[in-house]
Amino acid sequence: MSVIKDAANLNTRMREVVPLVHNITNYVTVNDCANALLAIGASPIMADDIREASDITAISSALVINIGTLNQRTVESMIASGRTANQLGIPVVFDPVGAGASAFRNETVERILQEVKISILRGNLSEVSYVAGLSAAAKGVDVSEEDAANDPVDAACQAARRLGCTVGVTGAVDIVTDGNRVAKIHNGHPLMAKVTGTGCMTSAITAGYAGMQEDMWTAATAGILSMGLAGEIAYGRVAHMGTGSFRTGIIDGLSSLNETLMEEMAKVEEM
Amino acid sequence: MSVIKDAANLNTRMREVVPLVHNITNYVTVNDCANALLAIGASPIMADDIREASDITAISSALVINIGTLNQRTVESMIASGRTANQLGIPVVFDPVGAGASAFRNETVERILQEVKISILRGNLSEVSYVAGLSAAAKGVDVSEEDAANDPVDAACQAARRLGCTVGVTGAVDIVTDGNRVAKIHNGHPLMAKVTGTGCMTSAITAGYAGMQEDMWTAATAGILSMGLAGEIAYGRVAHMGTGSFRTGIIDGLSSLNETLMEEMAKVEEM
Amino acid sequence: MSVIKDAANLNTRMREVVPLVHNITNYVTVNDCANALLAIGASPIMADDIREASDITAISSALVINIGTLNQRTVESMIASGRTANQLGIPVVFDPVGAGASAFRNETVERILQEVKISILRGNLSEVSYVAGLSAAAKGVDVSEEDAANDPVDAACQAARRLGCTVGVTGAVDIVTDGNRVAKIHNGHPLMAKVTGTGCMTSAITAGYAGMQEDMWTAATAGILSMGLAGEIAYGRVAHMGTGSFRTGIIDGLSSLNETLMEEMAKVEEM
């Protein structure tokens, strides 16, 4: 069965299983992540205090660690929740927002990689390149020009092998690899870069898919594909209005997705 | 006069009085709470640092304590603001998001109940059951299957008597009781569960109503009814688009509400 | 060349330059600020931990300090980032949300003014009056009745001279002055007060304009004008739907703005 078919099946299953996804994430896009998870059929929970982070992880089906607005208080919660997830076999999706942009982010990334076994790393080319030790320079939270010259398939595959996990690099073409299998996703739309949080939402819904079954490569492909399709649906419907409507349209798109639509719209090459 | 008429009157009065509502709340749905308060005619203020929480409460007409993304820093502010509100006769709406889901949440709930006199407790059946000591188990921030078997009228009445306050249990049918009077609200729409923050917004606007007059049962009925009607308005207008548009439509619905519309649309049984 | 023409030119340039804007801001409207910056053509970054705030400022083109949900942890980051900005010649936009509403806010405002050289102060009449030592009383985050009696041009000019910076006072008519030049902007719509964060978004996009060139008065005029025009565009398109759609429409408006539209719609008196 193709990864498209698997992903489409998981989309249906999400609305039956309603996996609980624990998010330790940034305060910029947290509302979008919650609504994206609800739209795709999962149930979001946000909790970042060290006194409860592990308890919440323990009742969840998946954990997202997103360092978008990193602070010293929540780093400890990320580590504690990550360890709990590892002990209980709960998948961990890591979104290294802005990795490379400050020493604090870089030290935190290193610490998370040392103390937590990541299931899926999801970022843009700069972030993934940085995390895997392949990067030059990052400019804020966007892809730097230097890193843009890297081949994303190469970078993703190297990252997957170095880190021993599934890696999803989102960009003009999205790459998902576990070091062996590679999916190239030709969905999505460039306008998505003009809405904050499309990357964070992608990581969140990827965790929803990861929370339902064992295959992280399929989960990451399903998550990134779902977001791309939601972007296309939104683009077709409301992009002419502007980026505010487009943002709303992306959530609408996620809630409109279903198995049939995914199979029809998906443009995924398996390599 | 019926509670519907009272609630509708208060809706008109809100836009004249513009009560200032102090929210110590979570960072997931805080923007929605602010926009919901503005839409209904109130004025929101968010402040959670211990060095100013009480000062802000003291200039406000009502206080909301919402533990959605609880942390140790803001627990102290919740207690301090709650005490100030009690001293000054300012109503306190308590939204025990996720009560039962972690030891930290449970201890915090207990501490708040010990140190602050709550005017209105607003939650789903699991949360209210937990807070009132009637509960079994909670799964994240949604109603658990075990608790779903409880009768919401019974649970709300028991909670109201144990805690000596008005209790609003939102669900398929919303129940509001002060231990004597009971309102059953048959408004709202199940799709509201697919938008994060509909509960938090309900608590916020309930505080707006509570900030204008003495009768907490009427305030809670008005707040929960307003949210239900906003959900129905949104459903009729934009639910076919998806849950992103539905979220926007709920705020539109709150801002479109008026006395006449409330009287026409309300389905409230008084018992 | 008129300030309208300059502002319109800068709007085009924004989409070419894509200035990175560092925001240390509140958690209520932070998502709106990020989306507003993206919509106008800039790139937002949010970072508030003392361990990285200065590093992030150093790679940015402008800094916004917004005290909407002030807390002791981030005050130190505001100061550190402000100093770094000053050392590197990076413009600082200060949004003193709720200044006058609590002793903590007032002390923080004083400390920021002492330790950081502000480029642009952007607030409502109460906030600016308070910051410049001209104020009576504030009620939450809105303009108090006492302050509403002040003449905004007088208040803005006095503030600009006392603080030695450009001052933007937003209200029914917006005033921008550097103490010499005065722009009166007759754009915008009163309904914007019913959406949380229109002030915060104005400060954020003002920082985008400030990050591209030296003239702070033109930057502040461009930022405040852009927001007013976005509000008018949104009002014309979707205000009949309600304040939720209006909020989305404001972001749409920012993303729809261009040089021609700005020149056509702007109603700016230069004095």
Q: pLDDT tens digits for C91-140?
A: 999 999 999 999 999 999 999 999 999 999 999 999 999 999 986 555 55
Q: How far apart are CA C78 and CA C109, in angstroms?
A: 11
Q: Do A52 and B196 touch (CB under 8 A)?
A: no
In chain B, whose CA is at the least distance from the CA of A256? B242
Structure tokens at A99: 């990795």
Q: Is the dihedral of CA B175, B177, B182, B187 positive or negative?
A: negative
Helix (H, G, I), strand (E, B) or coil at A168: strand
Neighbours of chain A (3+ CB pairs under 8 A): B, C
Of B70, B101, B196, the CB nearest to A49: B70
pLDDT at A137: 53
Q: Pick from B25, B26, B27 the residue to mutate for testing the A interface (most A CBs within 10 Å).
A: B27
Select the residue from B251, B254, B258 to test the C interface by mutation, using most C Cβ atoms within 10 A: B251
User: Is residue C42 left, alpha or beta, with left meaning phi > 0 and alpha meaning psi from -120 to 50?
Assistant: beta
Neighbours of chain C (3+ CB pairs under 8 A): A, B
Q: Contacts for B109-112 with beta carbons within 8 Å, 24 or more apart?
A: B109/B67, B111/B75, B111/B79, B112/B65, B112/B67, B112/B78, B112/B79, B112/B82
In terms of Cα–Cα distance, which of C200, C178, C210, C179 is closest to C90?
C210
CB contact under 8 A, A38 and B103: no
* B73 contacts on A by Cβ (under 8 Å): 73
Q: Binning pLDDT at 50, 70 and 90, where does residue B96 land?
A: very high
Query: Rounded distance, CA B112 to CA B118, Å?
Result: 9
Partners of B235 on chain C (C-beta within 8 Å) are none
Identify residue B97 by its one-letter amino acid code: V
Query: Chains near B, with 3+ CB pairs < 8 A?
Result: A, C
Q: In the structure, what pLDDT confidence band is assigned to residue C240 with cuts at 50, 70 and 90?
A: very high
Least confident of A139-143, A195-199, B12-16, C74-78: A139-143
- Please provide the DSSP assignment of B254-267 as one string: HHH--HHHHHHH--
The whole-angstrom separation of Cα C14 and Cα C257 is 11
Tell me which residues of chain A have a C-beta less than 8 Å from any C-beta of chain C: 26-29, 31-32, 68-73, 98, 101-105, 139-142, 193-197, 241-245, 247-248
- C141 has pLDDT over 70: no
Q: For an interface test with C, which of B28, B252, B254, B257 has the most C Cβ atoms less than 10 Å from its Cβ? A: B252
Confidence of residue C145 (pLDDT cuts 50, 70, 90): low
User: C-alpha A44: how far from its chain's center?
Assistant: 14
Beta-carbon separation of B195 and A253 below 8 A:
no
The nearest alpha carbon in chain B to C139 belongs to B59
Q: Which chain A residues touch B if contact means CB-CB below 8 Å?
A: 20, 27, 30-31, 34-35, 38-39, 43-49, 51-52, 55-56, 59-60, 73, 237, 247-256
Sheet with A182-185, strands from edge to edge, namely A43-46, A20-24, A62-66, A92-95, A120-123, A166-169, A174-177, A182-185, A268-270
Q: How far apart are CA A130 and CA A135, in angstroms?
A: 4
Residues 6+ apart with CB under 8 A from C87: none
Residue of A17, A20, A21, A35 to mutate for B, most B C-beta atoms under 10 A: A35
What is the three-class DSSP state of A220?
Answer: helix
Taking CB atoms and an 8 Å cutoff, what residues of chain A touch C39? 194, 242-244
Shortest distance, CA C36 to any CA of chain A (angstroms):
9
Interface of B with A (CB under 8 A): 26-29, 31-32, 68-73, 98, 101-105, 139-142, 193-197, 241-245, 247-248
Nearest to A141 by CA among A149, A154, A130, A133: A130
First to last CA, chain A: 14
CB-based contact A140 C45, cutoff 8 Å: yes
- Which residues in chain C have their CB less than 8 angstroms from residue A71's CB? 48-49, 73
- The rounded distance, in Å, linking the Cα atoms of A5 and A260 is 9
Radius of gyration of chain A (CA): 17
pLDDT at position B147: 67
CA distance C156 to C128: 7
Q: How far is B151 from chain A (nearest CA, A)?
A: 24
**Alpha carbons C207 and B259: distance in angstroms, whole number:** 42
Interface test with B, best of C26, C97, C107, C245 (most B CBs within 10 A): C245
Strand B174-177 with B182-185, pairing:
antiparallel
Residue B141 is predicted with a pLDDT of: 62
Nearest by CB to residue C102, choosing from B34, B52, B250, is B52
Average pLDDT of the segment spanning C162-185: 97
Q: How far, in Å, CA of B208 to CA of B187, rounded?
A: 20
pLDDT attached to residue A134 = 87
Nearest to B252 among C27, C101, C245 (CB): C245
Residue in C26, C102, C241 nearest the CB of B55: C102
Residue ranges, chain A, pLDDT below 70: 1, 135-149
Q: Given this model, what pLDDT does residue A146 score? A: 66
CB < 8 Å to A73, chain C: 73
Per-residue pLDDT, averaged over B82-100, amounts to 97
What's the rounded Cα separation, in Å, for the pair C223 and B199?
A: 35
CB contact under 8 A, C47 and A103: no
B167: Cβ contacts below 8 Å, ≥ 6 apart: B120, B121, B122, B128, B132, B156, B157, B159, B160, B175, B176, B177, B178, B220
